[in-house]
Structure 1
Amino acid sequence: MVRPALVVGDLATDVVVVLSGEPAPDSDRPARIRSRGGGAGANVAAHLARLGTPVVFAGCAGDDAAGTGLVAELVADGVSPAVRTVAGAPTGTIVSLVEPGGGRSMLADRGANLALRPEDVPPPSPGGHLHLSGYTLLDPRPRAAGLAALAAAVAAGATVSIDPASSGPLARYGVDRWLADTAAATLVLPNAAEARLLTGCADPAAAARALAGRHALAVVTLGRDGALWASGRELVHRPAHRATVVDTTGAGDAFAAGLLSVWLADPTDPVRALEAGLAAAAAVVGRAGAR
């Protein structure tokens, strides 16, 4: 039986700009531009729901048409929203500039997401699961909500997964501070750069082992090289699935959801969990947008 999940994080509109070539300063360059539902937390929630996991998403939206539409999209995906409308604030917007080959740069206006309060987050189901987007901890405004959600999950006997979110903001926030904040997490889901930053280990396998010394489980994503699972003395690697890369936006969110969809039903099968995460990531990178 799959345990229910509570996801806490950002809800945003992704404006995905797929460039036809290198940027042309002071000139024009053709591009394909699409708007999609986004936000790291909302992405994980949407993918989890599509994969059959009962999921509640807690976050904030602006009092605008974008927020109304994004919440409706979550409902259509099967997510139960616990989204507060913030008067006078815009819904978050992220512009993703996708270069030929799939690399991307992100421009983020988090908008109403920064207004998240502890009382916006419902209590997790006893014995359920909390997935916390690291972005919630990396800004002082929603940080209290993230810490309260983590404490409530532990008190309820729920497991907790945390995605560190982004190495730049993480470095500015402070590694020691982040490690202290997230000490109670069951599972951490960094990419290779974040794992190096958190541990000081250049080798991803060594970094995964070091994180597994702090948490019950660490899963490190390696981009084109797949992913690593570390738990106790166990270290499992699975290669990435073949994919034609169009846009890497949201690949980590899809991976997290795929892995969690299996792990929440059976925490004893690392190969199956990794394969589910890698399959979800491969599906997302083959198209523009995070979902």
Structure 2
Amino acid sequence: MRTPVVVVGDVATDVVVVLSGEPAPGSDRPASIVSRGGGAGANVAAHLARLGTPTVLAGCIGDDAPGAGLAAELSAAGVELRLRTVPGAPTGTIVSLVERDGQRSMLADRGANLVLRPADVPAPVPGGHLHLSGYTLLDPGPRDAGVAALRAATSAGCTVSVDPASSGPLRRYGLDRWLADTAGATLVLPNADEARLLTGCPDATDAARALAARHPVAVVTLGPDGALWVAGDEVVHRPARPATVVDTTGAGDAFAAGLLHAWLGTRGASPAAALDAVLACAAEVVRRPGAR
């Protein structure tokens, strides 16, 4: 039987703008624009449920049509919802501007996600797993809910994973503060920039080792260079799968979900095998616009 996962994080609409042509300040630039379900917490939950892991999503949506649509989509994907509807607040919206090489800039209106409360997160089930999207900690509105969820999960003997989310907000929040908040996490899932920022190590492998000195497992994504798994003295690197990159939005969330599915479901699997499977999932996401 698979370990159930409670995911705490944002629910949002992603407006993905895939740009073409050359930059044209003050003029027009061609683009392909699509709207898809997004939000880091919702993305991880949707991918986990589709992989067959029992998943509960705790978060907030607005009392509006986008919120209702996102809830219906997530429920159809197999996610058990613990979403509070917030009257008068809009459901979150993220505009993702995607350049021709697949890299993107994010414009975020987090809306109802910013009023997440500790009571919105279900009580932990002993033996379960909590995955916390770092965005929950990086704003004063939902921070109390994130910290309370972490403490309750560790007290109940659950395993805990945390994604630092984004280097800019992380720097503004305070590195020592974030490290203190997440000290009880079993597994941390930064990208290379976040790992370097959190540790002060310019080399990604050294940064991963430094994080693994604080947590039982550190897995660092390296973009086109693949990923690192570090636990104790064990360091495993696996290359990325070849892919034609259309949009990197949500690739980290797909990676996190795939890793949790592999790690929680087959504890005896080798880190190399787990990383290979997960990198294949992430490669599928970057081939198309949108996070899921």
Bucket of the pairwise TM-score, normalised by the shorter protein: over 0.9
Structure 1 distance, partners of 2:62, 2:22, is 34
Which residue identity is paired with 2:44? Answer: V
Secondary structure in structure 1 of the residue aligned to 2:195: helix
Contact map agreement 1:262 1:272 (CA 8 A) in 2: no
1:150 maps onto 2:147 in alignment = no
Which residue identity is paired with 1:198? Answer: L
Structure 1 distance, partners of 2:204, 2:171, is 18
Which residue identity is paired with 1:281? Answer: A
Which residue identity is paired with 1:280? Answer: C
Identity %: 76
Aligned to 2:279: 278
Aligned to 1:136: 136
Aligned to 1:209: 209
Structure 1 residue 25, shift from structure 2 partner: 1.6
Aligned to 1:193: 193
In the TM superposition, what whole-angstrom CA distance separates every residue of 1:102-146 from its partner, at most 9, and x where no partner exists?
011100000000000000000122101000000000001100000
Structure 1 residue 153, shift from structure 2 partner: 0.7
Aligned to 1:234: 234
Which residue identity is paired with 1:276? Answer: A
Which deviates more from structure 2 when the two are superposed, residues 187-196 or residues 119-128?
Answer: 119-128
Structure 1 residue 45, shift from structure 2 partner: 0.2
Unpaired runs of at least 5, structure 2: none
1:74 maps onto 2:74 in alignment = yes
Structure 2 distance, partners of 1:117, 1:193, is 30
Aligned to 2:109: 109
Secondary structure in structure 2 of the residue aligned to 1:264: helix
Within 5 Å, give how 1:24-39 maps onto structure 2: 24-39=24-39
Aligned to 1:2: 2
Which residue identity is paired with 2:70? Answer: L
Structure 2 distance, partners of 1:59, 1:247, is 25
Structure 1 distance, partners of 2:157, 2:273, is 25
Structure 1 distance, partners of 2:213, 2:42, is 29
Which residue identity is paired with 1:152? Answer: A
Contact map agreement 1:19 1:29 (CA 8 A) in 2: yes
Secondary structure in structure 2 of the residue aligned to 1:205: helix
Which deviates more from structure 2 when the two are superposed, residues 266-275 or residues 252-261?
Answer: 266-275
Aligned to 1:44: 44
Structure 1 residue 22, shift from structure 2 partner: 2.9
Aligned to 1:92: 92
Structure 2 distance, partners of 1:105, 1:93, is 14
Structure 1 residue 262, shift from structure 2 partner: 0.6
Contact map agreement 1:255 1:276 (CA 8 A) in 2: no
Structure 2 distance, partners of 1:22, 1:51, is 39
- What is the TM-score with the length of structure 2 in the denominator? 0.98
Structure 2 distance, partners of 1:215, 1:3, is 20
Contact map agreement 1:260 1:273 (CA 8 A) in 2: no
Which residue identity is paired with 1:134? Answer: G
Secondary structure in structure 1 of the residue aligned to 2:230: strand
Structure 1 residue 27, shift from structure 2 partner: 1.2
Once superposed, what is the RMSD of the aligned Cα atoms? 0.8
Contact map agreement 1:259 1:275 (CA 8 A) in 2: no
Structure 2 distance, partners of 1:22, 1:63, is 39
Which deviates more from structure 2 when the two are superposed, residues 277-286 or residues 17-26?
Answer: 17-26
In the TM superposition, what whole-angstrom CA distance separates every residue of 1:255-279 from its partner, at most 9, and x where no partner exists?
0001110101123421122122211
- What is the TM-score with the length of structure 1 in the denominator? 0.99
In the TM superposition, what whole-angstrom CA distance separates every residue of 1:199-239 from its partner, at most 9, and x where no partner exists?
01111111111100000000000000000000000000000
Which residue identity is paired with 1:187? Answer: L
Structure 1 distance, partners of 2:81, 2:53, is 14
